[in-house]
Amino acid sequence: MKKIIKYLFVVLLIHSITIRVFGLTLDECIKLTLENNYKIQARSYEVDAKKKVIDVERSEYFPEVRAGTDYGAIPFKSQGLFGSSRTKRHNIRLRTEQPLWRAGYIKAKVKKAYWESNIAKAEKDIEEVDVVYDVTKAYYNVILQKEIVAVHQESVENAVGHVDSVREKVKEDMAVEVDLLVANTSLSSEKAELFTARNDYNIAMQELNLIMGNELEKPLDIEEQLVFKPVEIDHPSLVHQAFGENPHLEKNYAQSQAAEQARKAAKSGFFPHVKLFTQWEWGETQGKPANRRHGDAGGEADLPLLPTGYNYAFGVGISVPILKDYIEAKARYREAKAIKNKLVMAKSHIENSIRLNINKARSKISESEMNYEVAKSNVDVFTKRLENIKKGYEEGVFTSLDVSDAHKDLSNAKIKLLKSIYKYNMAYTNLKKVVGKTH
């Protein structure tokens, strides 16, 4: 008994977890997408890498320390009675160089790296806006296809009921076999459309899983329905918000600042750079005895050891650009200045594009709202028309084909209503994309 209770508890727990994991809202889908989408992850790594460059450029403020050592044998020639000999030499060196004045070069490079990290962040924000739009579109498309499947399922059920009704009338000699054939043909058509709708739903679900980076074994279960929710739009507020939050403008501003810092860094190449250096060295050289030259009397003579000790030096170094360095600095300066001027011109183009796209999105919302009202009215009209035709069919005024056509017209009207709601939601989603909002 305890095992049975434990088993039921585990089943209920798994069921509750499944509902919680797979019954997702739009906000939850967006959150999972931003966490799992490979494009967003790649952009995040790029932002982190750009931030590390700031530390690299800032390290130029600190002294450069270099250590080295030499060890080896070198030839030595005596000027006396001795022939050639070989000596062993080894030393240790320690040198430091501290920049004193570089005409603002290091500061400009640090700021340039900072603004380049902001460029990477703005590109990540642009990617997020695009991904959020894509997942929202896929999410609403899944709901749309699910609703269309329900409409076709209802149409199949109505067609089955109509076939049964016609079959009864044929048995009662109130209808002919042709009417039954027409009803069965309509049923087959509805079943084919239901099959197509289910395929479209499965494809839409796969697209949503792909965008989300969903690796779950079971498909997502979206319980939300398409509902028309009119929104109020404040045009001046939208424009102000877009100019303050749009990632394309943020990227343009960061690029302009990076170009300005590149110009300052290039300008520093026109001036001399000053640095302080110190060097400490310790070394020792030892000689081997040398053989006398051929024909000399005697054996070998000892070569004196060379001095052993250390030396220390410090000073100030000045490097002045003369020809190549000056020409290169001048070219970089002009290039950075041209890039900045280009970005200033691009800013006004981006702002005008935002204004235009906001107006287009608002017009699309108004158009979608009007289409929704028309589609809703058509559903009411075709519903009443179907009721009248079914009543007339019972009275012998209309044929079986009229009833099938009326069912088909109502089904199409419902689908158009669903698509009008979908287009309205996507028009509003597109407006948020233009503004630069991710939620």
CA quadruple 196, 202, 203, 209: dihedral, nearest 10: 170
Higher confidence at residue 188 or residue 296? 188
> In this structure, are residues 382 and 407 in contact, taking their beta carbons and an 8 Å threshold?
no
Specify the pLDDT at position 74.
Answer: 54
The DSSP element (H or E) to which 209 belongs, if any, is: helix 177-212
Higher confidence at residue 400 or residue 411? 411
Concatenated DSSP letters for 324-392?
A: HHHHHHHHHHHHHHHHHHHHHHHHHHHHHHHHHHHHHHHHHHHHHHHHHHHHHHHHHHHHHHHHHHHHH
Does residue 274 surpass a pLDDT of 60?
Answer: yes
**Which 8-state DSSP code applies to residue 289?**
-
Mean pLDDT along residues 351-356: 89
Phi/psi of residue 319, each to 5°? -110, 125
- The reported pTM is 0.73
| Interatomic CA distance for residues 186 and 192, integer angstroms | 10
| Interatomic CA distance for residues 264 and 208, integer angstroms | 47
The DSSP element (H or E) to which 281 belongs, if any, is: strand 273-287
CA quadruple 101, 104, 109, 112: dihedral, nearest 10: 170
Mean pLDDT along residues 140-169: 89
Specify the pLDDT at position 6.
Answer: 38
Chain segment 32-86, per-residue pLDDT in tens: 888 888 888 889 999 999 999 999 888 888 888 888 877 665 554 544 444 445 5
**Which 8-state DSSP code applies to residue 86?**
E
Does residue 307 surpass a pLDDT of 60?
Answer: no
- Domains and their CATH numbers in the chain: 25-61+103-271+322-435 (1.20.1600.10), 64-101+273-319 (no CATH)
